[in-house]
Amino acid sequence: MVEIETGSMNLNVLPDLGSYFNIIDKNTWEMQKSNRIKCDSCAGPPNEQLYSYTSEKPLEVKGTFECDIKAGKGSGHAEFVVVKGHRVPLIGHNTAMNLGMMKIGIDVNNIYEDSLYTEFIDVFSGLSKFKDTEITIHTDPPVKSVVQPLHKTSLNQQKDQLWVNSAMIVPKPGVI
């Protein structure tokens, strides 16, 4: 959920890239009307029928209104469709893109290891092993040291390796 300002009132909405319309339920619309939302126009239902995702029954549209909206640094003018029932308010694809809530494109914030080394040279300079320096590792004497067992190699990796029989043949005196 994202908080946006609709007609100088705050409203929590869910951005939906699959929706072409901005949808608000009748209860939320009535609450905004009672708080004197600043909207440009109120109109009747649109000519086309709206369906929710995976539904065969159309939504019962009560009307539409237009208002100024703001989210973060983005602002614009949008039309909302008022539907019957209790639903989460949705912001459609175009409105979300216009407000800068969503972006479709190539990621521009990739961080490469080489660029970090060059950008923060003072942090990464002098990193190497300490020469002629003796360090002490503090351990708890009563705790017994344990060596971890070797990890088993999977069969498909063992198959490609050279194999040597671990049996050692020793010549014995006598009959061969």
Among residues 126, 11, 172, the alpha carbon closest in space to that of 78 is found at 11
DSSP 8-state class, residue 58: B
Q: Where are the domains of the chain?
A: 2-57+65-72+89-98
User: How many residues in the chain?
Assistant: 176
Tell me the per-residue pLDDT of 89-122, one tens digit each, with 9 for 90 and over: 999 999 998 888 887 777 667 777 778 888 888 8
pLDDT in tens, 61-79: 888 888 889 988 888 888 8
Alpha-carbon gap, residue 52 to 157, rounded angstroms: 51
Judged by phi (left if over 0) then psi (alpha if -120 to 50, else beta), residue 40 lies in alpha
Burial 98-116 (b: 16+ CB within 10 A, else e): bbebeeeeeeeeeeeeeee
Q: What share of the chain is helix, strand, coil (3-state, %, to 5)?
A: 20, 25, 55
| pTM attached to this predicted model | 0.57
